Amino acid sequence: MPIYVKFCHVIFPFTGSHLHYMDPENDTGISEFLLMGFSEEPQLQPLIFGTFLSMYLITVFGNLLIILAISSDSQLHTPMYFFLANLSFVDICFTSTTIPKMLWNIQTQSKVITYAGCITQMYLFTVFAGLDMFLLTVMAYDRFVAICHPLHYMVIMSPRLCGLLVLVSWVLSALHSLLESLMVLRLSFCTVLEIPQFYCELNQMIQLACSDTFVNNMVVYFVAILLGGGPFIGIICSYFKIVSSIHGISSAQGKYKAFSTCASHLSVVSLFCCTSLGVYLSSAATQSSHSSATASVMYTVVTPMLNPFIYSLRNKDIKEALRRFFGMVATKGQTVPG
């Protein structure tokens, strides 16, 4: 009588001399994944759809206004606002890789995402998440130069250096994401796969693989330490020097002015780093798909949505630029009919 052995949901009849392979549901040829999202209750779907559609629209229009205000006002053509415009653009792309697909799935009452779509979404998500971190690091360096070396600021932060810093950020993020995606492509998936998220997240996909994931985990941990810890240490060092420089300013007004130029950036850094760290800690502490998905919302949706408010509410230059921009639009709207 043959003995059946089960490896990774694949049944092999063992006859004592050799193994006969019986075709599983899917092995390396997996064609689709299921994004489990937040809740399967039908009555909650309209509420989830409306909430995330509103948050997505606020994120897109808020960051788009920041970009338009900076590009239309020559007074804001400085390194600090150049980096801020790039950050706003990246935030729009960051949320656009996940939210539209989730809204589409809710609207069509489907949880399916194709294998190719999942890999593409994971690649783009990793690119823009890395870019967010790199740009926040570059902006911390910009504030360090502005406060600690104000007389040489325009010489050090030349247009060439600013463009080079952004270019390097894009290249590093793209290469990192490409490496992670290629590592996932080598994995085998042999069941109908349910991802306990509303998007294809790298760690979740590795956990669902039925082939050996040791190399993937080592790459993830090594890259996280190198490309995550490096920028974080850079931000900490920049602000340590900034605080030391501000402490040496004699007047209280001078201290307030120096600190106010960093307050918005420091708020965004704290929000992004704390929420992203909370996501990974919560995913490690709990196996609940709803808890993991809810925690992910904080840095994938909430943080990009709040960035425009943080920078505009605490920045007089941005508010003045927005007033001039809307005034210019209103003037054009009045003159066109005449």
| 146, 211 contact by CB (below 8 A) | no
pLDDT > 70 fraction of the chain, expressed in percent and rounded: 84
Residue 307: name the closest of 50, 72, 58, 82 by CA. Answer: 58
Return the CATH architecture of domain 30-322. Answer: Up-down Bundle (1.20)
13 phi/psi in degrees, rounded to 5: -80, 120
Q: Could you list the beta-strand ranges (E) of 141-295.
A: 193-195
Q: Is the pLDDT of residue 24 over 70?
A: no
From residue 189, alpha-carbon distances to 106, 180, 208 in Å are: 25, 16, 7
CA 84-175-225 angle, 5° bins: 80
- Please report, for the chain, how many H helices and E strands are present, in that order: 13, 5
Length of the chain in terms of residues written: 338
10 phi/psi in degrees, rounded to 5: -115, 125
Residue 163: how many CA atoms within 13 Å on its side-chain side?
Answer: 4
Question: How far is CA 124 from its chain centroid?
Answer: 9
Sheet (strand 112-114) strand order: 112-114, 32-35, 193-195
* 192-223: pLDDT as tens digits: 678 888 899 888 888 888 888 899 989 988 98
* 260-307: pLDDT as tens digits: 778 888 888 888 877 777 666 655 555 555 666 777 888 788 889 988
Averaged pLDDT score across all residues of the chain: 83
Neighbours of 95 (CB within 10 A): 23
Q: How confident is the model at residue 139 (pLDDT cuts 50, 70, 90)?
A: very high
Q: Could you list the beta-strand ranges (E) of the chain.
A: 3-7, 10-14, 32-35, 112-114, 193-195
Angle at which helix 316-335 crosses helix 303-313, to 10 degrees, equals 90
For residue 292, the model assigns a pLDDT of 66
Give mean pLDDT, residues 170-193: 90
* 71-100: pLDDT as tens digits: 988 888 999 999 999 999 999 999 999 999
For residue 290, the model assigns a pLDDT of 61
Q: Which residue has the higher pLDDT, 125 or 292?
A: 125
Q: Distance (Å, rounded) from C-alpha 13 to C-alpha 199? A: 37
The whole-model pTM stands at 0.84
Q: Provide DSSP, 118-131.
A: HHHHHHHHHHHHHH
Would you put residue 109 in left (φ > 0), alpha (ψ -120 to 50) or beta? left
Query: 19 by DSSP, 3-state: which?
Result: strand
Eight-class DSSP state of 191: S
| 105, 37 contact by CB (below 8 A) | yes
